[in-house]
Structure 1
């Protein structure tokens, strides 16, 4: 494991322009001199340039093609632009290094994986037209994309956050499609993402790292000293050599790419959220940081979920571009909320920012009992309507039963209408909006609930009378029971209404406290959680 960590550190430092020496690492790890030597030897071998065949040589290998030019070369082979005269189209010809020809298991693995790649048919994935081997050369005929790589665009410094947000959903579509087909990329990075002249995104080299690497290996370094993935973009489980690396590794790499598109930097070590570096909507932080969670189970579980959250942010109206407020991670209130998350340890992506999505999920969960109660209220209203209709339709010639039935019928409709009014307002809450707007939505729910509660709840001081009559208890109409019931009911309603509005009148110090009590535990808990989240500086 130490060798892989040293290799990652070497890659990172060289990207920063440094020239790390082996002696430096020997001083840092005096008891692991052999491991340090192996890591530097592997780094030197992997840095050896791949010598791509000349255009003339490739043309001799593929006489049916017009090989035009060498487009590029890297650790996974060389790519040429060629033309198929018979089909009147340009293609990209990819030749893998000849060293793989000597691997006895490579041929079977190449055929199996290449067939899976050839079945991928998506507008954001470079299509594979043909594959095979000629002599010692394994090759792919692929769709030729007239454009450039995302790496060139990032290095130009001309990519705006708005343009980045137009690119990422296309990547999500491509990844979701491939994952649904059981294909994992394993090496998502700007070099493997192409942009054509129309701004369309195309992912290239799907699954190529699995073809070149050994599927049975326990180390990310292949037998040819190639890394299965690029260290700066690899998910932690890829670098740990975990056998069951799945599609969530691609989601991690997508998060790295997204972070780089927004900030121009790769998130390494203890990094700040994107909104700390550039002026973007702070809600994008949670999308990026959740994608970058160390533990796969804490990440997005599907690329389509990433796109869905981005669309929710884009469609939520006016987008706040304010930079995230500084929040002290050592504050007790932050620690208290963090511990409340079922004792789970956040990944490194959450070190600079609490997972806003999980916190808002707690707020949403607090409102579920209120929503469930409204569902029960609708059921109660339907029951009252049925009971009332059954009573008055069968007793039109009996005045007290006719009146009781109509009262129940109308009251049942009012109960349902009140429940729907509260439920609609709960459903209108968009938890991706800024905290202030979510707090406003919750206040709207509380306001309508408090206005309707007396009209629905207090009449039960008298409503039991028509309910009993509709149920067949006509004895209630006897003066000895009806008159006391009416007196108690009217007094009860009057006192309840007076007390309800008296304690909430303007000017009372504990007015808000009484409102929270009348609103119930669900709304009280949701408001408290939102206040705590706002205190942390999360917007």
Structure 2
């Protein structure tokens, strides 16, 4: 294996291969080798005893920024402490490796891993979205249409600031076909900025709202389109939950699910995500911004501020999203937002699963939003069941097609 000569090269670029359940080859643990899960589809190579490339980065940056020496001393100390070899899955050192990376100052990582983008390279255009913590612009970068998310506040003690720092730290190492692609970030100058691929289809929530406005009634996508969106979401969550250090998104909702030009669904907004190990370590509940929209999809254990929640909170949110996709309406649409969390957590209220109109999926969704998290299926199980339903939907669609007898072989639905 090729030796590594810089921190940026310690995580080698490479596209991982998903197995039949949507898990990345870097996280399914079948070959006994531990991979850098936050690197997603990048493998860790052996490194020489002296990280020569890091020295070059340090010397250059110290010359340009003499006031940052302390940060670089910390960074180099962390790099020198990294294990010299790949670890087996039965070793806790692979988790320690992730902790070493997370302790390196973000602006140091951005330069070493080559994702820090000079602000003057980004040309902002029209505003395409706005939330509690920031504004999203369509922009041009290196000849490409991209999305730039700018922090709306410069305060480094704000919740929004720390959410964006958390998002950059996490998504800079995540690669999956159903995650919005991280292209870079501006962390050296203010305000913070995240550069990602432009999703021309907008959010899933925007799509349903637009269709409802056009039709004058709730819109329901075709069964094939709906099950494909459910599968896209499930594959993304399956990947996150099966990283070597599992990642919990914690804020899955239609507004955070974006659509490509070809209507492929991808998960975005990782400001509230956490590794499962960190959740267990903290032992504290988390707070949300913009709770009105989020509480419709929030698991009961989160509403009740239980400290020992796990990745099953995402499974509950997925169930609500599945219902939303097939019903065409927000869950609990006629209930006051402030009452939703009380009714779902204390009274066990759930939407009517029969509105889905697909018995097999209704049964799955009822398991996914179970009161007891232990009774909810894993993301792997969900992907497996959805594949069967997806195949059935595709077969049914083919059976419904009729080929006419003319010379053009027209296909009529």
Q: What range is the shorter-chain TM-score in?
A: 0.5 to 0.7
TM-score (norm 2): 0.54
Aligned-partner Cα distance in 2 for 1:105–1:125 = 21
Give the Å deviation of 1:318. 11
Match of 2:236 in 1: 174
How many residues are paired up?
249
Match of 2:172 in 1: 118
Cα deviation, 1:177-202, whole Å, max 9, x if unaligned, reads 12223222111111111112212111
Match of 1:141 in 2: 195
Cα deviation, 1:305-341, whole Å, max 9, x if unaligned, reads 1121122344469999xxxxxxxxxxxxxxxxxxxxx
Aligned-partner Cα distance in 1 for 2:311–2:220 = 31
Give the Å deviation of 1:163. 1.8
Higher relative helix content:
1
Among candidates 119, 123, 132, match of residue 66 of structure 1:
123
Aligned-partner Cα distance in 2 for 1:246–1:64 = 40
Cα deviation, 1:10-59, whole Å, max 9, x if unaligned, reads xxxxxxxxxxxxxxxxxxxxxxxxxxxxxxxxxxxxxxxxxxxxxxxxxx
2:120 match: secondary structure: coil
Among candidates 353, 377, 380, match of residue 274 of structure 1:
353
- Retained in 2: the 8 A contact 1:118–1:127? no
Cα deviation, 1:423-475, whole Å, max 9, x if unaligned, reads xxxxxxxxxxxxxxxxxxxxxxxxxxxxxxxxxxxxxxxxxxxxxxxxxxxxx
Aligned-partner Cα distance in 2 for 1:234–1:308 = 24
Aligned-partner Cα distance in 2 for 1:137–1:238 = 31
Match of 1:92 in 2: 147
Q: Closer, same or farther in 2 for the Cα pair 1:102/1:90, shift >3 Å?
A: same
Match of 1:248 in 2: 312
- Retained in 1: the 8 A contact 2:252–2:317? yes
Aligned-partner Cα distance in 1 for 2:380–2:155 = 35
Structure 2 unmatched ranges of 5 or more: 1-117, 212-218, 333-342, 344-348, 397-413
Give the Å deviation of 1:67. 0.8
| RMSD of Structure 2 on Structure 1 (CA) | 3.2
Give the Å deviation of 1:154. 2.1
Q: Closer, same or farther in 2 for the Cα pair 1:228/1:317, shift >3 Å?
A: closer
Aligned-partner Cα distance in 2 for 1:251–1:70 = 32
Establish whether residue 77 from structure 1 lines up as the match of residue 139 from structure 2: no
Match of 1:290 in 2: 367
- Retained in 2: the 8 A contact 1:221–1:228? no
1:148 match: secondary structure: coil
Cα deviation, 1:479-523, whole Å, max 9, x if unaligned, reads xxxxxxxxxxxxxxxxxxxxxxxxxxxxxxxxxxxxxxxxxxxxx
Q: Closer, same or farther in 2 for the Cα pair 1:93/1:272, shift >3 Å?
A: closer
Aligned-partner Cα distance in 2 for 1:112–1:195 = 23
- Retained in 1: the 8 A contact 2:227–2:390? no
Which deviates more, 194-203 or 133-142?
A: 133-142
Q: Closer, same or farther in 2 for the Cα pair 1:271/1:243, shift >3 Å?
A: closer
TM-score (norm 1): 0.42
- Retained in 2: the 8 A contact 1:256–1:292? yes
Q: Closer, same or farther in 2 for the Cα pair 1:219/1:317, shift >3 Å?
A: closer
Q: Closer, same or farther in 2 for the Cα pair 1:113/1:191, shift >3 Å?
A: closer
Establish whether residue 258 from structure 1 lines up as the match of residue 319 from structure 2: no
Structure 1 unmatched ranges of 5 or more: 1-60, 321-539
Match of 1:238 in 2: 302
Give the Å deviation of 1:235. 1.0
Q: Closer, same or farther in 2 for the Cα pair 1:261/1:220, shift >3 Å?
A: same
- Retained in 1: the 8 A contact 2:251–2:273? no
Aligned-partner Cα distance in 2 for 1:227–1:306 = 27
Aligned-partner Cα distance in 2 for 1:237–1:185 = 15
Q: Closer, same or farther in 2 for the Cα pair 1:97/1:252, shift >3 Å?
A: same
Larger radius of gyration: 1
2:187 match: secondary structure: strand
Give the Å deviation of 1:271. 4.1
- Retained in 2: the 8 A contact 1:83–1:91? yes
Q: Write the mapping of 1:349-498 to structure 2, written as runs, cut at 5 A.
A: none
